[in-house]
Structure 1
Amino acid sequence: MIKALIFDLDDTLYYEKEYVLEAFKEVAHYLGNKYKKDEEKLYLRMKQLLEESGRGKIFNVICEENNFDEDIVELIDIYRNSVPKLELYEDSIEILIWARKNGYRLGVITDGCSKVQWNKIQALGIEKMVDKIIVTDDFGKEFWKPNKKSYLDMIEFFKLEKKECAYIGDNPNKDFIGAKGIGMKTIRIIREKGDHINTFLDEKYEADLNIINLFELIKLLGNKEF
């Protein structure tokens, strides 16, 4: 019987691209003010680069195109220090409320730069909605998923058996293999948008079950065979 629900954060409980775009606005605002440039145009160019080639060298390209004399590390710091307004998905809010009312323990395990992830957590107001949050980068990058440490730490915190915990995430590259490896139930949410909605891997990387929204958890948890 499942007694604890442990969630990924980005693209599972909220749309992660919202954070990226809002953080871009802060960098664009900084550059626009410093160089007397149209910050809206700078922001739209960043957005275009993201859509065309993904993350990586966006700030480098912006500086090269506009002859900005900038330390890219400082721009990255502006990005990472941003605390934009973010919102949980509606089903995320409702399932967390439902689960708590029905006696489930609740946790979050998330990868990414520690400062960025805690800023997201603060912006989402999620700390008061769950029992424990683990940002794997607090242990060091070598402990990011699929490393088993965060899953084992969460289970130890809850004082539960591994089979009594379910992990819900969106990224088969890393979310499930570690959790499955220690005997946890795994569920993949495939939403309408997100970085990994079209990623499908070998069975060992995929979750035990797939859902398209978190409301489906209610039915799953009512199934004695799950």
Structure 2
Amino acid sequence: MLRGVFLDMHGTLGYVENPITPVEIAELLVDSGYEVSPQAWRVASHFVGIVDFPKLKFPNEHSYLRHVCFRLGIEIDEETLNRLVELFKRREYYKLYPEAIDAVKTIRELGLKIAIATTIPKFRFKLIIEALSPYIDFVMTGAEAECDKSNPKMYLKLLRILKLTPESVVVVGDEDYVDVILPKKLGMRAIQIIRENGKKCKLADAYVTNLIDAAKIIEKWIREEY
């Protein structure tokens, strides 16, 4: 019997409207006297997000970006770091997809437990957490899981916290491995959201283009169980 839904964040619940490019960041740092290439920033930032953040649990943008600079061998001055932080606060935050609140509310009204599962730090999507807080039972990021989302430990920890079995959970997300292949390996169902130019993963149990349709499929599955 279906009892829980794990929702992906990036590309499923929310999106960054005007993401900062590595070129913009490199130009800001070069203007302040630091030698940083766009590719070096991109790789260092990705490494910190996937490897360091789950271990060190940076509480805010300031500490997170300082550590990216540390990975690049930069002892960044406070003024430049503050400029970088302000840029990220203006541009690198998540907005909800238009249908997200109604869809999550519908899922909640079906009596299901709901969690968000993502590697992304909470300070990047705090507006989404605030908007969905009446309907969400748990928000699992890399910090809580102490690993990135491609590690099965994240899903297994969520199952333990919410006292759910894999067979009773459906994962809703857009990425093939972390949102479909891995959940299926663990015994969960998967609904893949295909937005814009997304590619279908053949292992998904269903495909949708938005969260409202995902909620309808979940409701249909519940009706079929009775």
* TM-score interval for Structure 1 and Structure 2 normalised by the shorter chain: 0.5 to 0.7
Give 1:99's aligned residue: 107
Query: Which stretches in structure 1 are left out of the alignment for 5+ residues?
Result: 25-49, 51-55
Deviation at 1:153, TM superposition (A): 1.4
Task: Decide whether aligned partners of structure 1 residues 174 and 82 sit closer, same or farther in structure 2, where only a CA change above 3 A counts.
Answer: same
Residue 220, structure 1, aligned to residue 224, structure 2: no
Q: Structure 2 length as normaliser, TM-score? A: 0.66
Q: Deviations over 1:108-131 (max 9, x none)?
A: 00113x3xxx12332222333300
Residue 8, structure 1, aligned to residue 11, structure 2: no
Q: Using the alignment, how far apart are the partners of 1:79 and 1:2 within structure 2?
A: 42
Give 1:164's aligned residue: 168
Q: Using the alignment, how far apart are the partners of 1:123 and 1:71 within structure 2?
A: 34
Residue 209, structure 1, aligned to residue 206, structure 2: yes
Which piece of structure 1 moves more, 215-224 or 143-152? 215-224
Q: Aligned match of 1:59 in 13, 18, 25?
A: 25
Secondary structure of residue in 1 paired with 2:204: coil
Is the Cα–Cα contact under 8 Å of residues 127 and 133 in structure 1 kept in the other structure? no
Q: Using the alignment, how far apart are the partners of 1:63 and 1:8 within structure 2?
A: 32
Give 1:150's aligned residue: 154
Give 1:34's aligned residue: none
Deviation at 1:12, TM superposition (A): 0.3
How many residue pairs match? The answer is 176
Deviation at 1:79, TM superposition (A): 4.9
Q: Which amino acid aligns with 1:179?
A: P
Is the Cα–Cα contact under 8 Å of residues 7 and 116 in structure 2 kept in the other structure? yes
CA-atom RMSD in angstroms: 2.8
Task: Decide whether aligned partners of structure 1 residues 139 and 86 sit closer, same or farther in structure 2, where only a CA change above 3 A counts.
Answer: closer
Is the Cα–Cα contact under 8 Å of residues 171 and 183 in structure 2 kept in the other structure? yes
Q: Deviations over 1:73-98 (max 9, x none)?
A: 33654455568775422321101111
Is the Cα–Cα contact under 8 Å of residues 146 and 176 in structure 1 kept in the other structure? no
Q: Using the alignment, how far apart are the partners of 2:162 and 2:144 within structure 1?
A: 20
Which piece of structure 1 moves more, 177-186 or 67-76? 67-76
Matches within 5 A, 1:27-46: none
Q: Using the alignment, how far apart are the partners of 1:58 and 1:85 within structure 2?
A: 16
Query: Which stretches in structure 2 are left out of the alignment for 5+ residues?
Result: 37-68, 70-80
Which piece of structure 1 moves more, 79-88 or 123-132? 79-88
Is the Cα–Cα contact under 8 Å of residues 8 and 110 in structure 1 kept in the other structure? yes
Q: Structure 1 length as normaliser, TM-score? A: 0.66
Matches within 5 A, 1:79-158: 79=87, 86-112=94-120, 114=121, 118-124=122-128, 125=130, 126-140=132-146, 143-158=147-162
